[in-house]
Amino acid sequence: MTSIPHPAASAAKMETRRLEIRYGAKAAVKDVSLTLPDRQVTALIGPSGCGKSTFLRALNRMNDLIPGSSASGEILLDGRSIYAGHLDAVELRRRVGMVFQKSNPFPKSIFENVAYGLRIGGLSDRRELGERIERSLRSAALWDEVKDRLAESAMGLSGGQQQRLCIARALAVEPEVLLMDEPASALDPIATAKIEDLIHELKVRYTIAIVTHNMQQAARVSDQTAFFYMGELVEVGPTEQIFTTPRQQRTEDYVTGKFG
Amino acid sequence: MVTTHTDKTYEAELRDLRDRLLEMGGLVERAISASVRSITERDSALAEQVKEGDREINRMEVAIDGACRRVLALRQPAASDLRFITTALKIVTDLERMGDLAVNVAERALDLNKTAPIAPLHDLSRLAEMSEAQLKHALDAFVTGDVAKAEDVMRSDAHLDALYLKIFNDLLAMMMEDSRNIRRATSLMFAAKHLERFGDHATNLAEMVVYMVRGTDVRHPRSRAPSGPPGP
């Protein structure tokens, strides 16, 4: 009964099919089939321990680093398995970048922080590096604040600036998908608004998945929202529908603040 | 088992809001009933009471509006809570208007009671009973989230319209019979029109109840774009 097109109507950039992730005997993510539509923002919400962060990390194989973890089911990027031979983990993580809850700049200059991934990728031409860094910092809405102090340590930036620097660092290698795990939870409302505004700009070019405990933030920034509970994907739908007329009682209870 | 909000203060705020809406609805029910009795029983003192009582209804509208704004600003309600608050904001406007209609009927009574009665008034009494019942049922549907009952109210409005038309034609005939009836018949015609409008507001309430429960907007089915209904 709604004229708002479902975000899933656009092409799938990433997709999981019957994804299950275990830590030893415990299943942290159970049978989750979810599509990240191309150049849309998908918010993953749910209480602590619901599997949303584990799900997010699976999308660029970050869980592979955790001993005892195992995954079954499929994870597709542009319709091809991220575990297929054409794609190693390094290349996957270039295409599917990640921004963490706690900004983690390297104890290096602002310039070198953004240059890091590019240098690893073999880029050494100073001029091209400079152009790519400016472009990344502009995309992360940080350029005007740091352009005169690129040689200074990144550790001297404010929390919000550090987080945008980490976004610039992720963008420098020109990813296609951006995964954000609570990117604004440690920031004040002004820095948070800048990050949220940035997400709106970035989704023109990138497919974004964001984990957040802040339901209003999910409502503000995302096109579709997925509600996870105890490892299961309970409901996914257009964000407006999830926050006005969710179909599942467990979603209803969660978004209205009825917790068990 | 009905789950309640983890935040008990919030739960209490929403419950209080619902209680106040019902209380206001009760005042409006009594007002419309009294206003028509002030005509049928030729009781001008009762008509004055209706006019006086409307002030309390107006005060409640302002208070409930404020409480809704407060919840919106401080609680950021979602899903069924959001639909409840937006429904409350609209219902309160309809209820206030219904209170005004009761006052309008009471004003007709004050005019009519100055002169001799011209006609039996059981149709008008019947229309008042039906209007009041429509409000009562709409409020019941609101409290219990009963969509079937709300839809019943929406369907029943046609009965009120039919009775209003009958009253209208009877009064018209009376005016044509004797032009000295015109002033009194016109007053009665207005009173009947106010009651019919009262019923329309009850229908508005019922439509909002359907939205509140189902999340689908059932208003103005004939005004929809052919490509599909607008979203909630």
Mutation pick from B1, B82, B217 vs chain A, by most beta carbons of A within 10 Å, is B82
Give yes or no for residue A252 having a pLDDT over 70.
yes
Q: What is the number of other CB atoms lying within 10 angstroms of the CB of residue A106?
A: 14
How far A242 CA lies from chain B's nearest CA (Å)? 7
Nearest to A39 by CA among A255, A201, A252: A201
Written as one letter, the residue type at B213 is V
pLDDT band at residue A8 using 50, 70 and 90 as cut-offs = very low
User: What confidence tens digit (pLDDT) does each residue in A14-26 have?
Assistant: 999 999 999 998 9
| Section A36-46 average pLDDT | 97
Counted domains in chain B: 1
User: What confidence tens digit (pLDDT) does each residue in A181-219 have?
Assistant: 999 988 889 989 989 999 999 999 999 999 999 999 999
Single pTM value for the model: 0.85
Q: Which residue has the tokens 């309970």?
A: A234
Whether the CB-CB separation of B64 and B17 falls below 8 Å is answered with yes
Beta strands in chain A (DSSP E): 12-23, 26-37, 41-45, 69-77, 80-81, 96-99, 177-181, 207-211, 224-229, 232-238
- Percent of chain A whose pLDDT exceeds 90: 82
Q: Which domain holds residue B129?
A: 9-218
User: CATH number, domain at B214?
Assistant: 1.20.58.220
Nearest to A228 by CA among A6, A4, A55: A55
Residues ≥6 apart with Cβ < 8 Å to A157: A105, A110, A146, A165
Length of chain B in terms of residues written: 232
Q: pLDDT (tens digit, 0 to 9) for every residue of chain B, 232 residues total?
A: 457 999 999 999 999 999 999 999 999 999 999 999 999 999 999 999 999 999 999 999 999 999 999 999 999 999 999 999 999 999 999 999 999 999 999 999 999 999 998 877 899 999 999 999 999 999 999 999 999 999 999 999 999 999 999 999 999 999 999 999 999 999 999 999 999 999 999 999 999 999 999 988 888 887 876 554 454 4
CB contacts of B10 in chain A (<8 Å) are 257
Length of chain A in terms of residues written: 260
| Section A27-38 average pLDDT | 97
What does each C-alpha distance from A249 to A56, A61, A225 come to in angstroms? 24, 32, 15
pLDDT at position B132, please? 96
Give yes or no for residue A73 having a pLDDT over 80.
yes
CA B147 to chain CA centroid, nearest Å: 18
Report if residue B4 sits inside a domain: no
| Section A82-91 average pLDDT | 87
Report CB contact under 8 Å: A252, B7. Answer: no
What does each C-alpha distance from B148 to A90, A231, B18 come to in angstroms? 59, 37, 20
pLDDT at position A51, please? 95
Which residue in chain B has the smallest CA separation from A246? Answer: B79
What is the SS3 assignment for B13? Answer: helix
Report if residue B165 sits inside a domain: yes
Name the β-bridge partners of A112. Answer: none
The Cα B147–Cα B214 span in angstroms is: 8
Residues ≥6 apart with Cβ < 8 Å to B129: none
* Phi, psi torsion values for A228, nearest 5 degrees: -105, 140
Domains along chain A? 10-105+175-255 (3.40.50.300)
Report if residue B195 sits inside a domain: yes
Report CB contact under 8 Å: A244, B78. Answer: yes
Helix axes A126-139, A110-120, angle to 10 degrees: 110
Report if residue B92 sits inside a domain: yes
CA A119 to chain CA centroid, nearest Å: 23
pLDDT at position A49, please? 92
Residues ≥6 apart with Cβ < 8 Å to A115: A129, A133, A172
Q: Which residue has the tokens 């409307």?
A: B54
Nearest to B80 among A219, A240, A252 (CB): A252
Report if residue B49 sits inside a domain: yes
Report if residue B51 sits inside a domain: yes
CB contacts of A227 in chain B (<8 Å) are none
How far A248 CA lies from chain B's nearest CA (Å)? 11
Nearest to B79 among A256, A259, A260 (CB): A256
User: What confidence tens digit (pLDDT) does each residue in A117-144 have?
Assistant: 999 889 989 999 999 999 999 999 999 9
What is the SS3 assignment for A227? Answer: strand
Mutation pick from A1, A239, A242 vs chain B, by most beta carbons of B within 10 Å, is A1
CB contacts of A255 in chain B (<8 Å) are 78-79
Pull the structure tokens for residue A125. Answer: 């031409």
pLDDT at position A3, please? 46
Report if residue B1 sits inside a domain: no
The Cα A115–Cα A123 span in angstroms is: 9
pLDDT at position B227, please? 52
The Cα A180–Cα A196 span in angstroms is: 11
Report if residue B231 sits inside a domain: no
Helix H segments across B76-177?
79-112, 122-144, 147-177
